[in-house]
Structures are given as structure tokens and as C-alpha cells.
Amino acid sequence: MMLRFTWHFFSVVMLSLALVFLALGAGVIGGGDWTVVRVLAGYFAVFGVLVLVLSRGRHFAWLLGLAAAVAAWLGTL
């Protein structure tokens, strides 16, 4: 159950990230408005917390998810 949910959630996060990169590259978004990147940071934070809780800390993907969330958020400051 945990693996299936995590896999689908991770797929949504990666698809969102790809669309943001595409929009940034095409110049559709940007110009100092970092709302979209902060939403993606939120996705990564939720992913990290869910993996931490559902795996009871046994899988280290939570650490990578939270590190990506912090890095993305700090990149918008």
C-alpha cells in the first residue's frame, strides 16, 4: 500500500516539476514570482513526511524529499 501510494505521489511531483521547468524555460512564468516553485517545495515536503510516517523512518527517501523541499524553498528567498 505504502509503495503504491508513494510511487503515484512521486509521479505527480515529478510531472509538476517537469512542467514548471518547461514553463520557466519557455518564459511563461518567472520574473521574480516564485509561487510555483514554493508549491513544488510543498510537494516535496509532503512527500518526505509521508515517506517518513508510512515507512516508520526505515526508508531514507524522506530525507531526500525534505532536503529537496528545503533547497527549493531557500532558492526562492
Residue 25 pLDDT exceeds 80: no
Model-wide pTM > 0.75:
no
Mean per-residue pLDDT, 59-68: 84
Residue labelled with grid coordinates 511531483: 13
Name the residue range of residue 32's domain: 2-74
Residue 2 — pLDDT band, cuts 50, 70, 90? Answer: low
Which of the 8 DSSP states describes residue 60? Answer: T
DSSP letter (8 states) at residue 28:
S
* The three grid cell numbers given for residue 21, joined into one nine-digit string: 521547468
Q: How far apart are CA 66 and CA 42, in angstroms?
A: 9
Determine the Cα–Cα distance for residues 7 and 13; give it in Å rounded to an integer: 10
Asked whether residue 74 carries a pLDDT value surpassing 80, the answer given is yes
Instruction: Tell me what the mean pLDDT of segment 61-67 comes to.
Output: 86
Q: How many domains does the chain have?
A: 1
Q: What is the pLDDT averaged over residues 6-35?
A: 74
